[in-house]
Every structure is written in structure tokens, then in C-alpha cells.
Structure 1
Amino acid sequence: MLTIGCHLSSSKGYLAMGKEAVKIDANTFQFFTRNPRGTKAKAIDENDVERFLAFAKENGIERILAHAPYTLNACSADEHLRELARDTMADDLRRMEYTPGNCYNFHPGSHVGQGAEAGIAFIADMLNQILKPEQRTTVLLETMSGKGSEVGREFEELREILDRVECKERMGVCLDTCHVWDGGYDIVNDLEGVIGKFDRIIGLEKLKAIHLNDSLNPLGAHKDRHAKIGEGCIGEEALKRVVTHPALKDLPFYLETPNELPGYAREIAVMREASR
């Protein structure tokens, strides 16, 4: 059965997100760990978490994905900003232990003129400080579109970060269809080739999640503007091929399209039908 959901607001707690997911026929979801444009986080409500875990088990919700705030930059030239990213992510990983066995996704960051090599070194150093062998959360590097000085547009950059991380068993990758398309990987006309390249460079065993988004931009635009499924340059048919590809179909898919719940419900229905 296709594991698919969307991004939900965490403001009302885990149980509320679980109920919203079930309402739109989702069996997973993504959420921000805290303010996506800041660092403030609500205290964990242990009762809410316990009720959610029971609800999730009853309703087949699995492999939820937490997303770090957009504002964090693990490879900033500013040491204080790097420390903020490190401390925030370390706190997030502690909080994730309340819902063990899931994933935590973050944007690698922007090297802001230092060069990709310096940025990669900073990211790996931070991960080596915060990852613990005993943690039950897998941390995911997200593929990026390459706007500005973003690290992670090329699979090779993500591979280099992974190679430098000591706690390798707690690391993986989240592939964003909009980002890789904008980054120059042609998933419309050469999905097989893109998957093959990912496997050769990173390894499909490291691919843990997929952000399923259309793009407002043409191939290789190096921008990042998500579109609703079928309303962008990737198109509905190409994204159906993504969710049904033998190497990808068993992964969890997370919609980040510009939608409200009814729109997400329609997109989930379309992808479920394609996967049958």
C-alpha cells in the first residue's frame, strides 16, 4: 500500500495531525518541529504523544517525517549561526525520541561564498557533534535546487557529507522532486537514469523519503517554487511514474504542494489510484 501524506501544522499537537491525516486518507505526514521561520518550540505534551501513538497504530499511520526550521544554516560563515543550527537540531533529536523510529529532515544550508567544500565540512562537523548511536531517529539530508550558494544540489555533495559522518547508520537522504528537477536532474524524460545516478553516487539504501512536488520552473532553473501536482513543469504523469517506480514505490511520500486539506486529499487520491 502506498505510504503518502502531506505537510500538516503541528500547532495543535500530534494527535490532531494524526486525525487530519486520516481525514484525507493519508497514512503518514510531515510537520515542522518548531516555528519554521524561527527556533521557538512548544513543550512536548507527553499525554498527547501517547494518545497519538495509540491512534497511529490503530489507523496505520507510520514513518512520520519531522522537518527542521528553514532558518537554520549548518554551514554559515557565522560561527554563532552554526552553533544555533547545532543546538536547535540537537534539541529536535531529543524531542524526536518521544516518537521513535521516524526521520528528521533538514536543508543542508548555504555556504554563502566560502565554497561548497567548506560548507560540506561544517555540515559534517555539526552532524558528528549531535548524532548518537543510541538515538532512534534517522537524520535526512534533503536534495536542493541549487539557488544561491545552497549545498546539496548535486548528489556528489550529499555523498561527501555522508562519507564524513561517523554515525553513518543514523543518516539518509530525502529526495525532493521539485528540487532535483530545478537542480537539473530530468525526472520527466529520464527517471531511470536519475535513479541510477543516485544509486551509483549515494546508494538507494540511503534514500528514506521523497518530497512529492511539481515545479513552477523549467528543468535546471535552480529556483525553488513548488506547484500543485499537474500544474507545473514536471507534470502529473511524471510524478505518477515516481510513486510507482519499483525502486521507489515502498518509500514514504510527502506532499509539500501549495494546498489546503481538500487539495491534498485530491492529490493523495490521484497517487493512490496510480499505485493500484
Structure 2
Amino acid sequence: MSKNDDILIGCHVNMKGPDFLVGSINQALSYKANCLMVYTGPNQSTLRTDLERLKIDEFKTIAKNNNIPLEHVIVHAPYILNLATIDESKYRFSIDFLTKELMRAEAIGAKYLVLHPGNAINTTRIDGMNSIVAAINKIYAKNKFNVILCLETMAGKGNELGNTFEEIAYMLNKINDKEHIGVCLDTCHISDAGYDINQFDDVLEQFDQIIGLNNLKVMHINDSMNPRGARKDRHENLGYGHLGFDILNTIVHHPKLTHIPKILETPWYKGYPLYKEEIQMLHDQKWFDVRKNYE
């Protein structure tokens, strides 16, 4: 096994014209990533390019030729969806648009679609979670998707749902299609939500007992600008935040997590992405001050 194959580590990459998914996969390869995550359009709007223009076949060929299986391609749903809303029109919109996003992920060949569960605005947390469950059950009852929908662990900012393992488990347990539901664990988010990531084996044991490690499908690897329990959700570059490189490196190389694609969503620095260097640091298991290269 070569150095760049010993862990599954990649990052969020752009998906924009004129190259669309071909540009996405080539960008990931330029970072030496062996998995990747894309949005199928702007993450804050409904604008979407027709599937016929996304260069899906060429994308799949490049991925295959570079030993990146499609199960290591992750799609992230846009942030504008809220399956917990009490507004009927927004609820119907969220269901319809998530259905379309699942269709797009299916066409791309992605195995996982990551979703921020929702925000309980002017409603109770239980009612909000029940609305999320009802929406997902409705979508999968009407459509036969192969894509696995992954609820992301959240930081607890505002009225976010899913910031505790118990809330994630509550929703998972009520979703009917167990084969097509999973979890995405975000290191920044769980720290911001109050979990002590420096005791990661204990956190992982909690996750296993409450949610089930078999349900963990994707991970987001991010440092945090804020201390544990801050509920802010501000990602930081590896080693520059409150989590630190060492524990994130330990998590990435954890023997129980080797099969799980891990995605960096760290910020750009002075207009430059640091993904290539961060991925290399994780392969080498050694941190260096990458920002000085961009001063």
C-alpha cells in the first residue's frame, strides 16, 4: 500500500462551469486526495445546472482511472433546506429539493449525500425532529434511491437539531429505510457541541453505544476556531485551532475508522486552499506551519 493509499482523506472541491465534475475530480487529484465532496450547485441557492452538462461520464472515467471508487465521492446538500420547519410551503420545498438532490447524487454515482438535519424555529426540538423523520420517510417511500442519506452531527448553533448523539439516534431510529440512512461526524461540530474530542476513544464509544458505529458513513475533519462547547461552528485549518493537529491525526488514522471517507472542510488562507498540504501532513503524520508559505 502506497503512502497516499493508507488513509481515506480528501476534501471539498468546487463544481462549476465550464468543466463541472471533471474540474472537481481534477482538483481533488491535484491535492492528492483519494476521496472528495461536492455540492451539485451553489450551497445557498436553488440554481442547478442540468445533469447533461456536468460531464458525468468523463468524471467517472477519470475517477476509475485514478482508483477513486464512486463510493468515495460524497455530495453535500445545500444549506437552504430545513426539514424541521413549521412553514408548510418551506417544508414542501425542502422535501422536493432534497429529492432532486438525491436524484442528482444518484446520477453522479455518489454513494452518500450529507444533510444538515434542520433548525427547530418556533417549534419544539421533538416536533422538529419528527418533521425531519416524516420528510425522509416520505422521500424514500416514493423513490428507490441507492444513495445513503447521512445526517450530520451539528455544533448546536442557534436552533440546530442533531447536536447530540441522542438526537441523531432519535431520528435514525424512526427512519424506516435503515439501509439508506447513516451519519456524518464532524470533528469541529462535536467539539463545539461539547464533546471532549481529546478523549476520542471515549467519544467513539459513546457514539457506538448511542448511535452505532455501523451507522457512521462519512467524517468531516476540521479544526475549530472556538473552544469546546462554544456552539459556533467556525472551522479552522489543521493545527491552528482549539483541537490541534495531533488529535485530528489520531482520528484520521484510528483503526476503527480506516474504511470511512474523511473530508476536509477547512478554510482557505489568504485566498489559497491548504488542502494539498493538509492532506500531505495527515499522510506523513507530521504538522508543519503551512501558512508561512502564503505570507
Structure 1 length normalisation: TM-score? 0.95
1:60 aligned residue (45, 64, 67): 67
Match of 2:290 in 1: none
Q: Take 2:235 and 2:249, find their aligned partners in 1: how far apart are those partners? A: 17
Query: In structure 1, what is the Cα distance between the partners aligned to 2:207 and 2:64?
Result: 33
- Alignment of structure 1 residues 264-275 onto 2, 5 Å: 264-274=275-285
Q: Could you tell me which residue of structure 2 aligns to residue 160 of structure 1?
A: 170
Structure 1 stretches of at least 4 aligned residues deviating more than 6 Å after TM superposition: none
In the other structure, the counterpart of 1:254 is: 263
Deviates more, 1:133-142 or 1:21-30: 133-142
- The whole-number CA distance in structure 2 between the counterparts of 1:171 and 1:112 is 24
| Structure 1 partner of 2:9 | 4
The answer for the alignment partner of 2:196 in structure 1 is 186
Kindly state the Cα deviation for residue 134 of structure 1 after the two structures are TM-superposed.
3.3
Gaps in structure 2 of 5+ consecutive residues: 1-5, 287-295
1:60 CA drift (Å)? 1.6
Q: Is the 8 A contact 2:73 2:110 kept in 1?
A: no
- Give the superposition deviation at 1:45: 2.4
Shift of 1:237: 0.4
- The answer as to 2:222 corresponding to 1:213 is yes
Q: 1:100 aligns with which of 81, 91, 109?
A: 109
Number of equivalenced pairs:
274
TM-score when scaled to structure 2?
Answer: 0.89
Map 1:35-54 onto structure 2 (within 5 A). Answer: 35-45=42-52, 48-54=55-61
Moved more, 209-218 or 9-18: 9-18
1:89 equivalent among 89, 98, 116: 98
CA drift at 1:118: 0.4
Matches of 1:160 and 1:153, distance apart in 2: 12
Measure, in 2, the Cα distance between the counterparts of 1:8 and 1:46. Answer: 18
Whole-Å Cα distance in 1 between the matches of residues 272 and 221 of structure 2? 16
- After TM superposition, give the deviation of residue 249 of structure 1 in Å: 2.4
Amino acid at match of 2:65: E
| Fraction of identical pairs, as percent | 36
Secondary structure of 1:76 counterpart: coil
Equivalents in 2 of 1:95, 1:262: separation in Å? Answer: 26
What CA distance in whole angstroms lies between the structure 2 residues aligned with 1:99 and 1:240? Answer: 30
Q: Which stretch has the larger CA shift, 45-54 or 111-120?
A: 45-54
* Residue 34 of structure 1 pairs with residue 41 of structure 2: yes
1:179 partner letter:
H
Cα distance in 2 for residues equivalent to 1:130 and 1:274: 42
Unaligned runs of 5+ residues in structure 1 are none
Q: Distance in 2 between matches of 1:91 and 1:182?
A: 31
Cα RMSD of the aligned pairs, angstroms, is 1.5
